[in-house]
Structure 1
């Protein structure tokens, strides 16, 4: 006897408990094709009719901001059955049915889940981000099932019940589940073929979606926001710093990807959102509040001590300061402050330079002395050049938020 497939749930669920039970009964199934690693994002996308790229972006974002995305992905991998499997890998591990995933891989993923979870909720990475990220993703999945759980429901995989046999020798009879054959008939006479079940009708094909211009519109709006923010930042408007502008652009791209997920568009926006997210994390991990001067490139080549400014500043961009044209008779002191970008300072070959070079994140190279990483140690000292003491007396301080700073001769 074959198990009968449950009837599709009507649209609209009465409460939290019923929603959770219906989600478990109609869990997403990991596809055999179309998945990247484990097929979890593709399973959720196919189950609710949204673009899997959006789901992948959500997992990556939750991993970067809080670390919980990786552990949730492993949990879904362990609890979602694959297409054609009777149960999930975890249920199969406890003998509840058949799963195509090997028990060895299931155990490895289960063991890996615990250190990832402890790392995410330990509070050392974006304090509180793990709990917030987990709550947001679970809530999003709950609301998604409440609103679209009646769509694209997977067909349950049925399991067959086997009849019992008793063979004790030649002429033995086939027994029923009670262990006796009341008619004592020829056992071959009872060996009738089971009726062939009617094949399940294939699911109706999805209607092709019309091409949407959401992705193009979101990309154009993101470029417009980036250009306007950069222009305002270059005029000295302090709020439009590099992290804020990147955050605005990511907000536009995020809205475009979410809207495009329901219209089959906006998939390629992730190619711009991912690198911008990485840059945003790098910038927000350093404090740029003390850097002013706007954004853009700054190039200066003073020819006299009077033309040397007390400081050269940019919030983001590049600073190229050439001091090789200064005379040797007047001492000079100046500072260079750059929030994010590249700084290059060239000094005369014979100058006696008292320097301080520091950076919060990146690489600093002062006269061949190099330091790199996060919280870069300050480089201080006096460099007299190849000719020894004598020449222009120069006091120089280079302060870099994130990026590369170099001080060299000539």
Structure 2
């Protein structure tokens, strides 16, 4: 009993397995999370074991944790920073303290001080970059709030289960009080245990005749309860339906030309719904199939955020136009996604026209009269540009511009043309 009392005095909430204890209050939850932090295991890890440690600690699939990190990286830019933070503050299996605590001299850690310093430097740089260049407006703060709320609720509901076993030696203090240490603390009094048997018997009795229980012997922890059977849940179908609805509404608003709803923003909203669904599934059981939908969408979202695509309205599908006079030429021909083909070979004489032809994703083709005087500008964010003899291809290609008088020199229809594509091909040629 003395051992249990001393352990409670020394460490407050022990790191032994206790499936009956419930955590009360915000401060209690935060302190208990730090005391019983996940340990990064040697087995089952993909990189540093952060996701595997969190999954094992709270009884959820580590694959879901990894997907949450990816979604947070794409959605708000904080996922990678939080992974590095977990690498720094979560102890490795078998260590007394984390790498950061080892750097501060709090105990033994297998992580070298040089690597810990490099990890902290990378963490600071990533944190600053996340808050200065988030591709979703306010996405960094949303991601930060989601992580804090998710960890808090997860520890409140499952923090009393799967608590890591204590590490380190046994410490002793006055009056023979003992406790199990975690790392380099070595008890309240900083002295190692000395379990020496008494050399005399004050009652003069045979010491072998006494069969009293050892008061200092640690009580073995109760066996870890078996994980509950996985329940069938419809949360995956429900979240998928909500994500598709959000994506459909966002795409419709983008097609209508609402400024904020770009393809990257719409993808961010869909990933946010999937991320929240996976967090809810970790509590309610279910939603594992959302991983296979979130991973490819996260890659698409990462691509959309990296490529400088301009927002284009006009809807979806193919657009073909063949005006026969200058007054029939519209100022803009555009599609959010789809091919746009404009045939201006019907212009003749002294016709003068100015137009812009653009598409977010697809192909843009413009046919010009052989004798037209053309002032042109052609560009593509990603793709190939062939504009009256000039050509460029790649990502964020330089703008092609110039003046071409046609086959007969100056004279004929005068056309001012801008042809643009987000992803695809631009072709401007004479018919």
Report the TM-score when normalising by structure 2.
0.68
Partners of 1:151 and 1:197 in 2: how far apart? 20
Correspondence for 2:362 = 342
Aligned to 1:318, the other structure's residue is in SS state coil
Correspondence for 2:225 = 204
Q: 1:273 to 1:214 in 2, by over 3 A?
A: farther
Task: Quote the offset at 1:6 in angstroms.
Answer: 4.7
Alignment match of 2:409 (pick from 364, 389, 394): 389
Q: Does 1:275 align with 2:286?
A: no
How large is the RMSD of aligned CA atoms in angstroms?
4.4
Partners of 1:392 and 1:321 in 2: how far apart? 22
Correspondence for 1:157 = 167
Correspondence for 1:164 = none
Partners of 1:134 and 1:242 in 2: how far apart? 23
Aligned to 1:260, the other structure's residue is in SS state helix
Segment of structure 1 superposing worse, 302-311 or 268-277:
302-311
Cα displacement string for residues 137-186 of structure 1 (whole angstroms, at most 9, x for unaligned residues): 3343234323332232222224368xxxxxxxxxxxxxx97xxxx99xxx
Partners of 2:272 and 2:142 in 1: how far apart? 19
Aligned to 1:317, the other structure's residue is in SS state coil
Aligned to 2:166, the other structure's residue is in SS state coil
Correspondence for 2:401 = 380
Q: Does 1:302 align with 2:326?
A: no
Cα displacement string for residues 21-47 of structure 1 (whole angstroms, at most 9, x for unaligned residues): 211110011122333221212222332
Q: 1:72 to 1:222 in 2, by over 3 A?
A: closer
| Contact 2:324 2:344 (8 Å CA) reproduced | no
Q: 1:330 to 1:404 in 2, by over 3 A?
A: farther
User: Which 5+ residue runs of structure 1 have no aligned equivalent?
Assistant: 162-175, 184-195
Q: 1:353 to 1:362 in 2, by over 3 A?
A: same
Aligned to 1:356, the other structure's residue is in SS state strand
Q: Does 1:260 align with 2:281?
A: yes
Partners of 2:418 and 2:233 in 1: how far apart? 50
Segment of structure 1 superposing worse, 260-269 or 197-206:
197-206
Task: Quote the offset at 1:317 in angstroms.
Answer: 0.8
Correspondence for 1:331 = 351
Alignment match of 2:84 (pick from 74, 88, 94): 74
Partners of 2:270 and 2:101 in 1: how far apart? 43
Partners of 1:281 and 1:323 in 2: how far apart? 33
Task: Quote the offset at 1:330 in angstroms.
Answer: 5.6
Alignment match of 2:65 (pick from 36, 55, 65): 55
Higher relative contact order (CA 8 A, sep 6+): 2
Task: Kindly report which structure 2 residues correspond to 1:101-120, keeping only aligned pairs within 5 A, or say none.
Answer: 101-120=111-130
Q: Does 1:30 align with 2:40?
A: yes
Report the TM-score when normalising by structure 1.
0.71
Q: Does 1:355 align with 2:376?
A: yes
Residue correspondences, number: 374
Partners of 1:330 and 1:320 in 2: how far apart? 26
Q: 1:240 to 1:228 in 2, by over 3 A?
A: farther
Alignment match of 2:29 (pick from 8, 15, 19): 19
Partners of 1:134 and 1:93 in 2: how far apart? 26
| Contact 1:260 1:267 (8 Å CA) reproduced | no
Segment of structure 1 superposing worse, 18-27 or 299-308:
299-308
| Contact 1:319 1:338 (8 Å CA) reproduced | no
| Contact 1:218 1:256 (8 Å CA) reproduced | yes
User: Which 5+ residue runs of structure 2 have no aligned equivalent?
Assistant: 8-13, 172-192, 201-216
Task: Kindly report which structure 2 residues correspond to 1:98-247, keeping only aligned pairs within 5 A, or say none.
Answer: 98-121=108-131, 123=132, 125=134, 130=140, 133-159=143-169, 203-223=224-244, 226=247, 230=251, 236=256, 242-243=262-263, 245-246=266-267
Partners of 1:204 and 1:27 in 2: how far apart? 19
Segment of structure 1 superposing worse, 216-225 or 106-115:
216-225
Task: Quote the offset at 1:80 in angstroms.
Answer: 0.4
Q: 1:340 to 1:134 in 2, by over 3 A?
A: same
